[in-house]
């Protein structure tokens, strides 16, 4: 059974949290290349998804769908703020992201947003990139990696915040799946693994993490009847 807009908005209300309230005071990390890469990636990615979401809000015909996208945008701003705090207070720097991250979030996503702003008929394609590929796979793989590294290193505040981001992203992906179902768009999940591996690199996007995220993704798509891949 696929959740409707009311169910998603109820989940969003239940999950609200404050990025300023996460206690990062005991978390310190230096010289960990994987954590630095992940935080650098999420710094660019979360701020881009927050900034680029307006055309999705405008293209959603249903007022309830529009409200969901608008609530999602507030979540994305909170995520961006949380990763800024992690960079400033835990890493002590704002590291540069991998070129593959910059390509996806500073070029591909804005180009898709512009296309959607010009033609709302591209909403299915735009939701496919934003909610299914970026949030459903690329973010899911990165969050899983960062959460497990944070737990291993005893970074309790980072782990707390990433777990909250992860919970928010689940309903965002649910919103995307609901949109695709309503638009009768099907998605081929087989391309998504390559996207996640390319963006994060093989040390973060390990085959196990990619498999795990793809399996969860395929289950959601199958329930909604929007999966076309075998
Ligand atoms: Fe986010
Ligand atoms: Fe999101």
Question: What's the mean per-residue pLDDT of the chain?
Answer: 92
Q: Which ligand is nearest to the CA of 173?
A: 2
Confidence of residue 1 (pLDDT cuts 50, 70, 90): very low
**How many residues are given for the chain?**
230
CA distance 218 to 221: 5
Q: Is the dihedral of CA 128, 135, 80, 109 positive or negative?
A: negative
Q: Which ligand is nearest to the CA of 48?
A: 1
Identify the three-state secondary structure at position 187.
Answer: strand
Confidence of residue 3 (pLDDT cuts 50, 70, 90): low
**For position 2, what pLDDT does the model report?**
56
CA distance 194 to 113: 22
- State in Å: Cα 46 to ligand 1 middle: 5
- State in Å: Cα 33 to ligand 1 middle: 22
- State in Å: Cα 207 to ligand 2 middle: 23
Query: Rounded mean pLDDT of 53-72?
Result: 94
Q: Is the dihedral of CA 196, 197, 200, 204 positive or negative?
A: positive
Least Cα distance to 202 among 93, 80, 100 occurs for 100
- State in Å: Cα 169 to ligand 2 middle: 4
The first and second tokens of residue 101, run together, are 């991250």
Query: Rounded mean pLDDT of 136-145?
Result: 94
- State in Å: Cα 2 to ligand 1 middle: 21
The CA–CA distances, whole Å, from 221 to 4, 24, 89, 212, 216 equal 15, 36, 38, 14, 9
The answer to whether the pTM exceeds 0.85 is: yes
- State in Å: Cα 190 to ligand 1 middle: 23
- State in Å: Cα 166 to ligand 2 middle: 9
The rounded percent of the chain whose pLDDT value lies above 90 is 78
DSSP H/E element including 43? helix 33-52
Q: Which ligand is nearest to the CA of 136?
A: 2
pLDDT digits (tens, 9 = 90+) for 177-208: 999 999 988 877 666 778 778 899 999 999 99
Q: Which ligand is nearest to the CA of 72?
A: 2
DSSP letters, 131-156, are IIIIIIIIIHHHHHHHHHHHHHTT-H
- State in Å: Cα 20 to ligand 2 middle: 18
- Do residues 138 and 196 lie in contact, with contact meaning Cβ atoms separated by under 8 Å? yes
Q: Which ligand is nearest to the CA of 77?
A: 1
pLDDT digits (tens, 9 = 90+) for 110-138: 999 999 999 999 999 999 999 999 999 99
């Amino acid at each position: 059974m696929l959740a409707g807009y009311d169910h998603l908005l109820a989940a969003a209300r239940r999950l609200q949290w404050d990025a300023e309230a996460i206690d990062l005071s005991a978390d310190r990390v230096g010289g960990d290349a994987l954590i630095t890469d992940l935080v650098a990636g999420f710094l660019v990615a979360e701020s881009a998804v927050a900034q680029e979401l307006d055309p999705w809000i405008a293209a959603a015909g249903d007022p309830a769908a529009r409200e969901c996208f608008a609530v999602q945008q507030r979540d994305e701003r909170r995520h961006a703020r949380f990763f800024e705090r992690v960079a400033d207070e835990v890493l002590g720097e704002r590291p540069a992201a991998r070129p593959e991250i910059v390509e996806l979030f500073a070029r591909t996503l804005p180009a898709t947003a512009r296309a959607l702003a010009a033609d709302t008929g591209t909403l299915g394609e735009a939701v496919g990139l934003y909610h299914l590929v970026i949030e459903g796979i690329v973010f899911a793989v990165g969050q899983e990696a960062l959460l497990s590294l944070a737990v291993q290193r005893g970074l309790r505040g980072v782990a707390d915040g990433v777990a909250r981001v992860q919970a928010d992203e689940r309903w965002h992906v649910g919103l995307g799946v609901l949109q695709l179902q309503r638009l009768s768009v099907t998605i081929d999940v087989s391309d998504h693994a390559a996207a996640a591996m390319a963006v994060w690199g093989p040390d973060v996007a390990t085959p196990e993490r990619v498999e795990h995220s793809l399996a969860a993704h395929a289950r959601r798509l199958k329930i909604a009847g929007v999966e076309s891949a075998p």
